[in-house]
Amino acid sequence: MPRNWNPFPTHEGKSTSVPYTKQQLHEFFKQHDKDGDKLLSKEELKKAFDDLQSRTPGFRAWRAMGKADADGDQHISQQEMEALLDYAVGIKYPVKA
């Protein structure tokens, strides 16, 4: 998928304010697993929330860990991804054109 891919095209120069879907966020977070270990560290989450244009990416990463890191290992595993996605979907980050 191209880096600037947008499943919600703009019309007549107007951008949409449609929030990311759970599936889109899943792909987005997978792309932020920079070391390929299939875990998301707090730093990888912070970068992801920054790329989502969060005003407080450090806080969002900390909060996501609190919501999703069930085993307390400071990483979001594949088993914990659903809770992360539920948290992120609830924030309703808009898709950027």
Q: pLDDT tens across 36-54, in order?
A: 999 999 999 999 999 999 9
User: What's 26's domain CATH number?
Assistant: 1.10.238.10
Does residue 6 or residue 17 have the better pLDDT?
17
Evaluate whether residue 30 is within a structural domain.
Answer: yes
Asked if residue 72 belongs to a domain, the reply is yes
More confident residue, 9 or 74: 74
Residue at 73: amino acid letter: D
pLDDT at residue number 7: 54
Which structural domain range is residue 74 located in? 22-90
Q: How far apart are CA 57 and CA 43, in angstroms?
A: 10
pLDDT band (50, 70, 90) for residue 17: confident
C-alpha angle 63-74-29 in degrees, rounded to nearest 5: 65
Residue with tokens 């609830």: 90
Give pLDDT, residue 96. Answer: 76
The pTM of this model reads 0.80
